[in-house]
Structure 1
Amino acid sequence: MTPAPPERRDRSVLRLADLVPVGTLGLRSRRMRAVLSALGIAIGIASIVAVLGITRSSQSNLLSQINQLGTNLLTVSSGQNPSGGESELPTTASDMLRTVPNVLSVAPTSQLADTFVYRNDKVPAPQTSGLAVRAADESLLSTLDGGVAVGRFLDPTAYPVVVLGHDAANTLGINQVGPDSRVWLGGHWFTVAGILKPFSFAPEVDRSALVSFPTATKLLRYSGHPSRIYVRADENHVAQVSALLAPTANPESPSRVKVSRPSDALTAQLAVKESGSSLFLGLGAIALLVGAIGIANVMVISVLERRTEIGLRRALGATRLHICMQFLTESLVMSSLGGASGLVIGSIVTAAMAYQRGWSVLIPAESLWGGLGVAVVAGVLAGLYPAVRASRLPPTDALRTA
């Protein structure tokens, strides 16, 4: 007699549609703990996105300024004198610089020694607020590619009128021009004729009160020596022009002449911002690591707390793979929610900072999908050990501890 074949048992199957509800059971039953665990991932991803977004937006703004103002602006000066002001250049320096090949424009200025500007004649003389008085002419605006915010620029006359730089006007509390707007300058009342827009490449002009050369000669004892000259050179010959400026401005002592390019300062700012962003990215990575460790810790505790559930599911037919996938899904969902929240928070911080500073909002695409990808990988790594540990738990031992 042929023995009956052994009874065939159906293999247990965990459908994908059942994986998410089963895998999120622990999250739904312990919501506060899940939120706090995902918070570490959210902070790390938000830090990374915000740092990259703010850095990219700031760099875009600096590059826009450089492209707008150009890299062909050069300044010629002779350092500082013992009193802290600008040393004088020869009286012929401006005319000589105009003869240099590939020089497009020249704008001489002179910081007037021992001459300061005050809101009125009652202000004590030592309280200068760090504002200087400079003599200039109409070539300054065209050479610096600047503009007047309010009023007009200087006329080549000897009338006692003054044009204030942007920072100087703010310091003096003046935002209007006309006969009623006056300042006390060099022992005389001067009418404010205009207020300039900010100069990114010439901050010394922003903190100055400008008068015409005839006015400076007549009322302020101007000697005719410039102290700082702005030179706009041809874009394709900046290096050659820069090499000729010092010996041309002061043939007798070219070593005393300093030639600089203001755009180099903004370029240096780009390098500083890039190096600073690396530090903050490292801090964001540390926060992300702490968040991943927090998720791993929570998952280990969850396995210990749910031993009865694991044993019951194994007794009902769930395989080790099903248990492993359940806890791995829980860790993955937790980290993904934290990563998505971090993307939103980081984007909001970037947009708020850009709006406050007047920048264009630029968030690198790689920081968005890369941040979410890092969060997913962190969730997998954090949940792998607890998931494997849960899958290896014998059902009899799990039920015995119930």
Structure 2
Amino acid sequence: MKRRGVRAPRPARLRPLDVLRLGGTGLRTRPLRVFLSALGIAIGVAAMVAVVGISGSGQAEVDRRLDALGTDLLRVAPGRSLAGERVRLPVEAVPMIRRIPPVRQVAATGAVDAHVYRNDRIAVGHTGSLQVLAADRALLPAVGGQVRRGRWLDAATERYPAVVLGATAARRLDVYTPGTRVLVGGRWFAVTGVLDPVPLAPELDGAALVGGPAARTYLRFDGHPSTVYVRTEDRAVAAVRSVLAATANPGRPGEVQVSRPSDALAAREATESALTGLLLGLGGVALLVGGVGVGNTMVISVLERRPEIGLRRALGATRGQIRTQFVTESLLLSLLGGLGGTFLGTLITAGYALARDWPTVVPPWANAAGLAATLLIGAVAGLYPAVRASRLAPTVALAGS
């Protein structure tokens, strides 16, 4: 009989640190099983991370190759008036275009009324179809050009009689050595560099490029740009193109020609869409396979220890404590396998990308999704058998041994 005023003893509460220690006890007492279980989990997560990482690295390589085609490069040039006359861009066109937020680089060239000759013994009419252009210092990076010999225009040489020859111009003038003098607009200019061919701006190959300040001082350049090269963010090419004409010449936007985005931009968007679908599909399949492996491992792990559950119940452990113990163990095991899987998947991706000379790209969401999925699946897979076993009477659970 129960005495009045005497309460039944309450089970001891487990603190969070006690829960972690209790959950880790099962991992420490069965190291081989823990290693094999964690390995199964790690393989599933590594498969997902590697699939996503390799797909992302492949997409980055495609983007890198398409960048070489100038998908983000737009050209602004003067058009013609309603009367059919050639018009000019304002001198302020470049700084005005530079104010557009998505624009990353702006550079311009200006046509100069002059010709370039190898020496003063060449007939005036034998121009070789070469033109003289006043160029910004930012021109070469904007169009992705490279200097074959010598150097590009800088703060010093752009103010003095110095010229950089395009690849075609150097060949027709038979000038390849920096320091050679050529005749530009009746004045001697020193060649400071020779360019490689510029695929994104082939018009520069047949030009002699002079710094803007020097062109104004020695060649009577009026400062009006004839072509403006604009580099924008990939996602904003169409938006920038729609405002370029009004920005370059607010008074007469209809007299401005703006190139349409490169066909390679459409190819980039189609490729990104296809690779994104492939990435999500393969990543989902790999995650599903890994999840099945995690669930199977945790169900077997919990069912194997029913006798232990019966013993702890006989010693006074509550059903809630049994559930907490095995769910915690499931989470710790899943976390261990998930961390190993993300590291292994990243390593596989880096090795594959290095072998193919690709940039290594592992999206952070892939690692986060792998860890979150293993924890979620581990919790679900550990909870159901733990709840079922905790409902068994101690004698029935012990009889399972």
User: Normalization by structure 1: what TM-score?
Assistant: 0.53
- 1:3-402 matches, within 5 Å, as 4-5=3-4, 8-28=8-28, 29=30, 30-43=33-46, 46-47=49-50, 50=53, 54=57, 71-73=73-75, 99=86, 102=89, 144=143, 146-150=145-149, 153-154=166-167, 156=169, 161=174, 196=196, 199=199, 201=200, 232=228, 236-237=244-245, 261-262=261-262, 264-266=263-265, 268-345=267-344, 353=353, 369=368, 371-402=370-401
The code of the aligned residue for 2:74 comes to N
SS at match of 2:73: coil
Is this contact kept in 1: 2:109–2:228, CA < 8 A? yes
Query: Measured at CA, do residues 341 and 195 of structure 1 come closer, stay the same or move farther in structure 2, by a change above 3 Å?
Result: farther
Which is further off, 323-332 or 378-387?
378-387
The code of the aligned residue for 2:281 comes to G
Superposed displacement of residue 310, structure 1:
1.1
Cα distance per residue 1:70-111 (max 9 Å; x no partner): 532389xxxxxxxxxxxxxxxxxxxxx99365496599xxxx
Identity of aligned residues (%): 33
Query: Measured at CA, do residues 340 and 145 of structure 1 come closer, stay the same or move farther in structure 2, by a change above 3 Å?
Result: closer
Q: Which residue of 2 aligns with 1:88?
A: none
Superposed displacement of residue 270, structure 1:
4.6
Q: Distance in 2 between matches of 1:285 and 1:275?
A: 15
Q: Which residue of 2 aligns with 1:221?
A: none
Q: Distance in 2 between matches of 1:301 and 1:26?
A: 14
Is this contact kept in 2: 1:48–1:367, CA < 8 A? no
Query: Measured at CA, do residues 72 and 271 of structure 1 come closer, stay the same or move farther in structure 2, by a change above 3 Å?
Result: same
Q: CA RMSD in A?
A: 5.3
Is this contact kept in 2: 1:331–1:379, CA < 8 A? yes
Q: Distance in 2 between matches of 1:242 and 1:62?
A: 34
The code of the aligned residue for 2:146 comes to G
Q: Which residue of 1 aligns with 2:117?
A: none
The code of the aligned residue for 2:291 comes to A
Q: Distance in 2 between matches of 1:21 and 1:232?
A: 68
SS at match of 1:282: helix
Is this contact kept in 1: 2:52–2:279, CA < 8 A? no
The code of the aligned residue for 1:16 comes to P
Q: Distance in 2 between matches of 1:377 and 1:56?
A: 29
Is this contact kept in 2: 1:12–1:319, CA < 8 A? no
Is this contact kept in 1: 2:50–2:349, CA < 8 A? no
Is this contact kept in 2: 1:146–1:197, CA < 8 A? yes
Is this contact kept in 1: 2:322–2:386, CA < 8 A? yes
Cα distance per residue 1:360-391 (max 9 Å; x no partner): x8766655555543442232233222222222
Q: Which residue of 1 aligns with 2:218?
A: none
The code of the aligned residue for 1:386 comes to P
Query: Measured at CA, do residues 304 and 147 of structure 1 come closer, stay the same or move farther in structure 2, by a change above 3 Å?
Result: closer
Q: Distance in 2 between matches of 1:348 and 1:293?
A: 23
Point out where structure 1 has 5 or more consecutive residues left out of the alignment: 76-96, 108-134, 164-176, 179-192, 214-229, 246-258
Query: Measured at CA, do residues 390 and 35 of structure 1 come closer, stay the same or move farther in structure 2, by a change above 3 Å?
Result: same
Cα distance per residue 1:111-131 (max 9 Å; x no partner): xxxxxxxxxxxxxxxxxxxxx
Is this contact kept in 1: 2:302–2:382, CA < 8 A? no
Cα distance per residue 1:21-51 (max 9 Å; x no partner): 3223333302322222321453255247736
Q: Distance in 2 between matches of 1:304 and 1:157?
A: 81
The code of the aligned residue for 2:264 comes to A
Is this contact kept in 2: 1:153–1:194, CA < 8 A? yes
Q: Distance in 1 between matches of 2:368 and 2:331?
A: 16
Superposed displacement of residue 316, structure 1:
0.8
Query: Measured at CA, do residues 375 and 73 of structure 1 come closer, stay the same or move farther in structure 2, by a change above 3 Å?
Result: farther
The code of the aligned residue for 2:310 comes to G
Q: Distance in 1 between matches of 2:382 and 2:2?
A: 48
SS at match of 2:311: helix
Q: Distance in 2 between matches of 1:136 and 1:393?
A: 93
Q: Distance in 2 between matches of 1:12 and 1:294?
A: 35
The code of the aligned residue for 2:340 comes to S
Query: Measured at CA, do residues 162 and 212 of structure 1 come closer, stay the same or move farther in structure 2, by a change above 3 Å?
Result: farther
Superposed displacement of residue 312, structure 1:
0.7
